[in-house]
Amino acid sequence: MLQSDNLNTLAARVAELVLSSQRVVVFTGAGVSTESGLPDFRSPGGIWDRFEPDDFTYQRFVSRPETRRLWWQLIYEGSLSQEVKPNPAHHAIAELDRLGKLDSVITQNIDNLHQAAGVPDEKVFELHGNLRWSVCLDCGRRYPFEQVKTRLDEGHHAPCCEDCAGILKPGIVFFGEMLPDGVFEAAVKRAEGADLIMVIGSTLIVYPAAEIPARACRSGARLAIINLSPTPMDFEASVLVRAKAGETMAKVMELIRERL
């Protein structure tokens, strides 16, 4: 854990980068969501310590009823279906938008918390989808998660489409599934137009999402990383902060407010 004086110094450097930038793109990962109480998939004690990842591929979801039941059990019984609220990191990023500094948020998270904190939906690029919707794989009908949760409450272990009885799938990207149409390309375009990219709460090991900060840097953006563990891009960062996202971003915004 960083000493408070060291964190203050690093936060001041991040604040200076933000203040001297015109187009800030924020790239977020699980380290932001965990501070709101959502489980991490890959960290020790995370979801993949309790479930086998190979059981959760798109191909198995489509072909095996037992896999569909496992997925819906994971969502229903775990924190993924619980009401969670944005934490200080989400609120800080939304404040960047209100100050006119935020170009966009590119996120690996599926929880809708950036929008809940106040970032406009059109500025949030969700690389791995969003849990707030489910979709029928046969007819394409979309269902809000609250409607699906009602079906789960009633004991439907693998709910199907009410119109065509087709397979109902959470609106998130599974292993072996393509990213949502156009989202990756649009996110890359925003990143390559940034003059600062801030990586917050991501280890940058999940591809193709992890390509995006690298492409921003190759296009001339400066890089700030706020993450508890190392990333492959640490050596490229103008500022590297090994601390929690919420604590750091709250301090960064405090310093920015003082300057403004």
Angle between helix 211-218 and helix 183-192 axes, rounded to 10 deg: 30
pLDDT in tens, 215-244: 999 999 999 999 999 999 999 999 999 999
pLDDT at 179: 86
Cα 32 to Cα 90: distance, rounded to the nearest angstrom: 8
* Residue ranges of the chain whose pLDDT lies below 70: 1-5, 39-53, 55, 78-82
Cα 90 to Cα 11: distance, rounded to the nearest angstrom: 16
pLDDT at 52: 64
Cα 141 to Cα 79: distance, rounded to the nearest angstrom: 25
pLDDT at 1: 45
Cα 28 to Cα 105: distance, rounded to the nearest angstrom: 7
Residue found by looking up tokens 């046969």 in the block? 138
Q: Is the CA virtual torsion 51, 231, 38, 109 positive or negative?
A: negative
pLDDT at 227: 96
Catalogue all structural domains in the chain, each as residue range(s) with its CATH number: 1-38+86-128+178-260 (3.40.50.1220), 40-83+131-172 (3.30.1600.10)
pLDDT at 178: 85
Catalytic residue numbers read 128
Q: Are 199 and 217 in contact (CB under 8 A)?
A: no
pLDDT at 71: 86
Residue found by looking up tokens 């890089």 in the block? 223
Q: Are 33 and 88 in contact (CB under 8 A)?
A: no
List, as one string, the DSSP characters of 98-127. HTT-EEEEEES--S-HHHHHT--GGGEEET
pLDDT in tens, 127-170: 999 988 999 999 999 999 889 988 888 888 889 999 999 999 99
Q: The whole model's pTM is what? A: 0.90
